[in-house]
Amino acid sequence: MYVCRTAVRTVSRPRRSAPFEAEPGFYEPAQLWLYGNARLLASHLAQVFEACGPSDHSPVRLDAIEREAEDHVLASKVLVCGVHSPAHQRAAIVPLRWGSPRIVVFSGGFQYHLGKDLMQEPFPAGCLWRERWDPRTDLAVSRRAPDRLPTYATHNPTVDRLIKRLVLGESLGLLGPDPSASFHLVERH
């Protein structure tokens, strides 16, 4: 007779006390990495729907996307945008011109998009208004760990869906009056 005994060891992930604006953290209920001002998730969020989808926007459509982004910002909404297409890039720069916050959804890790020190503005044109990424003002969101490479595509339906989920409040665990107070930060590799 063989007796097989299995030792069960539970490993609890270490709790972190650093806020999202100090360093990237993994928010387990939503399965998302966050870096920056997590309180923005409790704001009135908006997106430019026209910026999503294939990146075959004409110059006239890009101008319209930029105007719609500006309308959202001037209406005191926080713009949620991506980085993978010219349309998202045009929309993402608008809040910088007005000194407003934004939520930027990345397809890769934060180090790829923001540099190793997490201070690089992801859009060269954005440097006209803000010299570097400001985690006290903006929020970066990604499904990938900070050191992971992005997906290389000008049309990224996964990012577009995540933007929509954030705006509609459908991301599990991101609801509440003050998300930064209820987030439990854990490390994940």
- Strand extents, DSSP E, the chain: 25-27, 32-36, 45-46, 78-81, 102-106, 139-142, 185-186
**Choice among 63-67, 146-150, 159-163 with the minimum mean pLDDT:** 146-150
- Choice between 1 and 170, residue whose per-residue pLDDT is larger: 170
pLDDT at 16: 56
What domains are defined for the chain?
26-184 (3.40.50.450)
Average pLDDT over residues 76-92: 94
Q: What is the pLDDT of residues 14-70, one digit of tens each?
A: 455 678 888 898 888 888 999 999 999 999 999 999 999 888 899 999 999 999 999
CA dist 138 and 130 (Å) reads 11
Average pLDDT over residues 62-89: 95
What does DSSP say about strands 139-142 and 102-106: parallel, antiparallel, or unpaired? parallel
**Choice among 37-46, 56-65, 125-134, 178-187 with the minimum mean pLDDT:** 178-187
Residue 69 CA from chain centroid, whole number? 17
- Across the chain, what does the average pLDDT equal? 83
Whether the per-residue pLDDT at 7 is higher than 60: the answer is no
Q: Which of 101, 108, 102 is nearest to 33 (CA)?
A: 108
CA dist 146 and 160 (Å) reads 20
Q: Residue 34 — φ and ψ, nearest 5°?
A: -130, 145
Q: Output the pTM of the full model.
A: 0.82
pLDDT band at 4 (very low <50, low <70, confident <90, very high): very low
Q: Does residue 37 contact residue 137 with C-beta atoms inside 8 Å?
A: yes
Residue 28: CB partners within 8 Å, gap ≥ 6?
Answer: 13, 173, 184, 186, 188
Handedness of CA 98, 104, 109, 113 (dihedral sign): negative
Return the percentage of the chain with pLDDT > 90, whole number: 54
